[in-house]
Amino acid sequence: MSQPPVLLRDGAVAVGGRPILRHIDLRVDAGEFVALMGANGSGKSTLVRALVGIRPLTAGRLQLFGTDLGRFHDWSRIGFVPQRGGAGSGVPASVWEVVASGRLTRRRLLRPMSRHDRTVVADALEVVGLADRARDGVSNLSGGQQQRVLIARALAGEPELFFLDEPTAGVDLPNQDALAGALDVLKQRGATIVLVAHELGPLAPLVDRSVVMRSGRIAYDGAPLGDQAVHDPLFGGMLDGMHSHHHVDHMHRSPHDVTPPMNAPLDRQPHEEGHR
């Protein structure tokens, strides 16, 4: 498998005509655990949504497993964990049903679930530690548990490449630990993981590489950063090491442009916030 799971060249995304992401080059190799970090509004969630095809690219070329997105149909290789929705649906759904819907990528139309499907769903619930809550309604679970349900749903499709959009947001520490445990299992199994996060917390030991977004551009791509260093204009001195890194070319293109004039008035300027 020589093709990288994710290869984006000079990607750009505009929402309603307003450019959100520009000049994004991102390559994720098989088995990597990449943390996509940055402040609110820096575009990290938009990038993940572009990578899974929910947000169309306005420029650039995206390849998943070596296939252009437009011709990519192998969705069972991809597991997407969206941000936890606030409202939920109007009809009750059990934990098992939501997780089982993750099996759809591998099921044929109008066929009942096979014994293997059920085993995989049970295994996914086991990995996130919710096997005993399978029959409960999703809406009765806490936020952290609901987040784990969404991870189990992605897991049920047995994908090779995971995209997780802020799985730790609003989740307490015990649940973050449970989450880290589940992601560790995935990593051991050889999955490629792209994770969006504000702060890594208990996930930090799992990360192989940090990518930091600022104002819609990649400002740093390299060795894992601590939660504080992400908001440091100079990334805690890690930028010096960037010159030996293979993503060095786009760093030269925008060496100091960490705050281009694209911020809305309410956006926080990353360099203005205090960091200790």
Partner 1 sequence: MTAAELFALPFMQRALIAAVFTGLAAPVVGTYLVQRRLSLLGDGLGHVAVTGVALGLLTGTSPTWTAVVVALIGAVLVEVIRERGHTNGDVALALLFYGGLAGGVLVTGLGGQSASTLQSYLFGSITTISVSDVVATMVLAAVVVLLGLGLSPQLFAVAQDHEYARVAGLNVRFYNMLVAVLAAVSVTVAMRTVGLLLVSALMVVPVATSQQVARSFRVTLAAAMGLGLFASVGGLVVSAFASFHARVAPGPSIVLLALACYVVTWPMGAWLRRRARLRAPFADHVPDSADPDEHDISEQHTHDHGPDCGHVAVPHGDHVDYLHDGHRHAPHGRHYDEH
The residues binding partner 1 (CB under 8 A) are 49, 52-54, 73, 75-76, 78, 80, 82, 85, 89-94, 96-98, 100-102, 104-105, 107, 109-110, 135-137, 140, 142, 150, 153, 157, 163, 174
Dist. CA 184–CA 95, nearest whole Å? 22
- Least distance to partner 1 from the beta carbon of 176, Å? 13
- Least distance to partner 1 from the beta carbon of 196, Å? 14
Nearest residue (CB) to partner 1, 27 versus 72:
72
- Least distance to partner 1 from the beta carbon of 75, Å? 3
Q: How many CB atoms lie within 10 A of CB 275?
A: 12
- Least distance to partner 1 from the beta carbon of 91, Å? 4
Nearest residue (CB) to partner 1, 173 versus 248:
173
> Under a CB-based contact definition with an 8 Å cutoff, are residues 207 and 200 in contact?
yes
Buried b (16+ CB within 10 A) or exposed e, 185-220: ebbeeebbbbbbbbbbebbbebbebbbbbbbbbbbb
Helix (H, G, I), strand (E, B) or coil at 8: strand
Dist. CA 155–CA 249, nearest whole Å? 35
Amino acid (1-letter code) at residue 87: A
> Under a CB-based contact definition with an 8 Å cutoff, are residues 217 and 44 in contact?
no
- Least distance to partner 1 from the beta carbon of 132, Å? 9
Nearest residue (CB) to partner 1, 88 versus 255:
88
Nearest residue (CB) to partner 1, 64 versus 229:
64
- Least distance to partner 1 from the beta carbon of 147, Å? 13
Q: Is 110 left (phi over 0), alpha (psi -120 to 50) or beta?
A: left
CA angle 75, 81, 87 (to 5 degrees): 120
Nearest residue (CB) to partner 1, 46 versus 210:
46
Nearest residue (CB) to partner 1, 97 versus 126:
97
